[in-house]
Chains A and B, each alone.
Chain A
Amino acid sequence: MTFKSFEITPQVIDEHGFTPEEYERVLKALGRTPNITELGIFSVMWSEHCSYKSSRIHLKKLPTNAPWVICGPGENAGVIDIGDGWAAIFKMESHNHPSYIEPYQGAATGVGGILRDVFTMGARPIANMNALRFGDVDHPKMRHLIAGVVSGIGGYGNCVGVPTVGGEVNFHSSYNGNILVNAMTVGLARTDKIFYSAAAGIGNPVVYVGSKTGRDGIHGATMASAAFTEDSDAKRPTVQVGDPFTEKLLIEACLELMASDAIVAIQDMGAAGLTSSSVEMASKGGVGIELDLDQVPCRESGMVPYEMMLSESQERMLMILKPGREDFARTIFHKWGLDFAIIGHITDTECLVLKFGGKTVCDIPLAPIGDDAPLYNRPYVATPKREPLEIIEEPNDYGQALVKLMGSPDMASRRWIWEQYDHMVMADTIARPGGDAAIVRVHGTQKALAMSTDCTPRYCFADPYEGGKQAVAEVWRNITAVGALPLAITDCMNFGNPQRPDIMGQFVGCIEGMAAACTALDFPVVSGNVSLYNETNGTGILPTPAIGGVGLLENYSIMATLPFKAAAESIILIGETNGHLGQSLYLREILGREDGPPPPVDLVAERRNGDCVRELIKNKYVSAVHDVSDGGLIAALCDMAMASGIGCSIDQFLHTVLFGEDQARYIVTTSKPEAVLNSAEVAGVVAAVIGTTGGNTIKVEKVLNVSLVDIKASHNAFFPKLMNG
């Protein structure tokens, strides 16, 4: 079958993911039957990934503004003002499905894609983070997936030379058939050198730079390739292959060109490659765009327009240049050994026109692609509220329970992972992985950015609204715990099938909870990504709205870390403790139960307590700070003790207090307890001295006394045992 005679049958329409109604919209938008290239373009632009057709209505509920927000959602990444002419640019994005199919390349290209989203706006990437979710540790595929994902993230980031400074990992059986790989990049730019994607200037050249286009990652590749070529190597992999060395060259070349005034607009070719970049750039600018596909650098011969437009080959960018600056730009890209091709120009037609072999192979009005895109208010049912739990039993042996908890999959040391990431390259990492938030300096200044990624999916599953609140609040708390002022977040919304009302209910609940927390904490959303249909054989993943937050330290000489600093200091617990054990790790890991409601988040207390802790750090009243989250108070104390080698001794408490996961809490240590308690009282914050640092055990009066050595052994054993054992 040749390209020309390709027939648009109901089967072809179905294979492109259109419902009959959606195809009617295509016909209406065009006023005729599309050819296969045009059908492919509509297909990817109206895909869930590009159009947000199921999520858009609800995403609008998220607050996106604050005086420090320079650019919110809608561009390649979010931009915030961090003062003195500096901007932080950041975003988190999912690469879930590819990572399950081919973990190394899936994760690697996830990192590559998010790096491009950030440097395309003019920022030099300064830090990578990631949020990973794996299935049961004894699932037969899981070791392979963990090893591949971690080495893929490392392989890409290490070569590009951007430090991977932190992240989070959870394990749960709901991810057995659908792991989550969410990658985040944070970059820095000058506020007067931020680049946007809206095309402008009729006649301006459209320039393609980076790697050549191949047949990898083509949407519907099986169908298309088989139909077009009918040869044996037609079934190309749908997972792209990353080339971090080329990405490094692309970063340097783009930043070098960006230092000039030659660029009008720029966007990376991410999902849906040349299609989404050209369509979005022209649409945003309210102009038309004409491309001569014969000029597209191709990796192999015989590629047809359909393949070129839908290829997701990596490490490519599309730019609109000022007229006359082509040679200047070409010199830079050739210096870095990259392809540079003028493939078209901006027109006033407001249409996407593609030429190939001297013929017009596509002519689509751009407005309908955006304006007529499907938009669904899918039916949803709210997740039923759970009854509070009855009395929950104590552990048989507190000491054993603690040792087991600290070595459990969600609590154990992540050192095995982050030692495979170069977390120090660029020599600006001043808080390495393992703390509440990673901290990276703004090179050559006293400023630093604090960043954290968080989400507690089991909370979101039990109560999406409270879970959504908690995810945002925990990021805010982690950034606060190092002394930084939380400024904004990016969200990576990983959910199951939105056509199921219960799943859609999870999505809506999480969004509304997040919105409440963002509003209460002045913590707007500036970028994000939605990944739906994360399910296998009808089982959805736990709802996982992964949040990545960025905060600012004006002067990094005033920051806090979590290790105890000295013996004989007072340990003060900040925040109210009710002993909430529903959905706690204690319940799951020690009692084998996943039930009850998650801890509620009092956003007023959250803000009050966090603002108080930041003041305590600023006034240098406290020597160590750690937020209280998974595993509760006793787990937080273990973290602080293990990181320092200094033990502690606290008052007698019940298991509900020791393991309860009440929110909005911090542990601080101090040699000035009165000053801390006074400050807390003035701020209206609950605070109490609960013990003292010192010794080489974790001791709870009359309850437990476990050596740090034993806790550490359990904490450090999990990953090496799983991966090497």
Chain B
Amino acid sequence: MKAAVIVFPGSNCDRDMAAALEKVTGVKPMMVWHQDTELPDIDLIALPGGFSYGDYLRSGAMAAQSSIMRAVKLKADAGVRVLAVCNGFQIATEVGLLPGALMRNAGLKFVCRDVGLRVENARTGFTSGYTKNQTISIPVAHHDGNYFADAATLDALEHSGQVVFRYTDNPNGSARDIAGIINAAGNVLGMMPHPERLIEPELGGIDGLPLFESLLGKLH
């Protein structure tokens, strides 16, 4: 599997994401700088966590205007898989790859802890390694993870199985406990929790591993 990790100047989970991808695929992903304008032939694009351009403005708003995101959008439209985690999810909503928005946490504080997730859709290319309704534990670490969309959008997401992960104990006030969604075409997954942080027992568990294995299984 050929993967690329997009690196914004304020990305800080880029190395973690690359390490997780390398651990599962055995191949180092390519690291792509935010000022680049083109992407080579690849199977997966990862938008990692962090603070892309500081996020002093709305999280992900500036990143959505970057030259590399134009290239990412073209690839996504062509069907290349995009894994957008945390700040990546925020960027993906800002750039229109996914519906909705991530607002400030309901508690108004940064929250970093393991949260329970229920797998709502195990029939995606990202989640086939899980089973439907399986409960897993994955860490969150964000200030702006409060997912919002209007009722019609939320209904549509639910109806078409685009809600992929739901919090079992909502840490941020997200609408309908939504932790992760996929686009209608099924190739762009956005999620606030960090699966790349939980792929080794030493780090506290391996509940993030099946996500990467799912990608590999499908793409092999």
Residues of chain A touching chain B, judged by Cβ–Cβ distance below 8 Å, are 151, 154-155, 158-161, 243-246, 248-249, 252, 336-337, 418-430, 432, 441, 556-557
Contact = CB atoms under 8 A, between A and B. Distances in A.
A542 B180 CA distance: 49
A123 B194 CA distance: 26
A245 B54 CA distance: 5
B15 A432 contact: no
Interface of B: 9-10, 12-13, 15-16, 19-20, 49-51, 53-56, 109-113, 139, 141, 143, 194, 196-197, 202-204
Contacts, number: 82
Contact of A427 (B50, B109, B196): B196
Given A244-B51, A426-B16, A427-B203, 4 more contacts: A158-B143, A245-B51, A422-B141, A441-B202
A188 to B, nearest CB: 13
- Per CB-CB distance, the 3 closest pairs between chain A and chain B, nearest first, are A161-B12, A245-B54, A427-B16
Contact of B141 (A158, A246, A336): A158
5 contacts: A151-B110, A161-B51, A245-B53, A249-B10, A424-B141
Contact of A423 (B10, B109, B112, B196): B112
A419 B15 contact: no
Contact of B56 (A158, A245, A420, A557): A245
Contact of B109 (A336, A420, A422): A420
A556 B53 CA distance: 35
Contacts of B113: 419
Contacts of B19: 427
Contacts of A418: 112
B112 A420 contact: yes
A430 B110 contact: no
Contacts of A244: 51, 54
Which of A249, A418, A427 has the most B CB atoms < 10 Å from its CB?
Answer: A427
Report which residue of A159, A249, A422 has the largest number of chain B beta carbons within 10 angstroms of its beta carbon. Answer: A422
B203 A158 contact: no
Among A246, A248, A423, A424, max chain B CB count under 10 A is at A424
A161 to B, nearest CB: 3
A159 B51 contact: yes
A154 B110 contact: yes
A428 B200 CA distance: 10
Contact of A419 (B16, B50, B111): B111
Contacts of A336: 9
B110 A158 contact: yes
A336 B34 CA distance: 11
A658 to B, nearest CB: 32
Contact of A425 (B16, B53, B55, B111): B16
Most chain A CB neighbours (cut-off 10 Å) among B12, B110, B112, B197: B112
B110 A425 contact: no
A426 to B, nearest CB: 6
Contacts of B203: 424, 427-430
A425 B50 CA distance: 9
A448 B18 CA distance: 21
A331 to B, nearest CB: 13
Nearest to B107: A724
B109 A424 contact: no
Given A245-B56, A427-B19, A429-B203, A160 B110 contact: no
Given A161-B13, A161-B50, A427-B16, A556 B202 contact: yes
A151 B108 CA distance: 10
A413 to B, nearest CB: 13
A422 B110 contact: yes
Nearest to B111: A419
Contacts of A423: 112
Given A419-B112, A420-B109, A422-B110, A248 B10 contact: yes
Contacts of A252: 9
A418 to B, nearest CB: 8
A424 B139 contact: yes
Contacts of A441: 202
Nearest to B199: A427
Contacts of B143: 158
